[in-house]
Chains A and B, each alone.
Chain A
Amino acid sequence: MSADNLNSSLRRIPGDHHPEYCHQCGKCSSGCPVASFFDFRPRRIVAMVQLGIIGELLESEDIWKCAQCLACKERCPRDVAPYDVIQALQNLAFKRNLVFPKDYSALINSILKQGVIQEPTRVRIRRHPPPEDKTKRAFEFGDRTSLGLPEAKKPDEIAKFAIALKKALKGDEK
């Protein structure tokens, strides 16, 4: 993977990212909620992209430590959109099967299978008012039906939906 190649692949991922506009003011890193926990700095990531050091980013876990709060994108005085730069890097790392959180595979399978991230779950319902007899359970279990909610939404024709989504995931361009 040459640096030029990666750079042009990165640019082709849709978004409002403009790493070339950055003048390294650091406003993004100073407002980042994650920067106080990890050595994660949006400013440095943008600088690395500017310098063409993209391969290294794609093979590190760092780009996945973003909390997606968008403060950097909001506050950037140069419209760099550091968040969008990070998102484009993450897309590229996934596309090239490099480093990405493994849970994404299960998430994708779930959406392909049922159209949503998860089926409705059973929840605990607190008895109200709480039972005076302390030997009685303070909770019961319920679901959408027992709570009087209509059926959860999902695609009507899941097979067609899954084919279209698979195509989108492959990034098929016509």
Chain B
Amino acid sequence: MFSPTHFTAVLLFGLFASIVFGITQRETPQRMFRYGLYCFSLFVGSAIVLSWVMYLIAR
């Protein structure tokens, strides 16, 4: 059984979703790459920010 950490799961999820978003939502390869990178950073960044928010709320 594959049992990644929560953060690894976020990285994998963000990577695959960002690839599909980049290819399907933009027309040129350069813009696809930039949009994919943008989506990936939003996925990972929002996960980190929300994690800190939940950590501070729980204290």
A binds B: no
Q: Which residues of B contact A (CB under 8 A)?
A: none
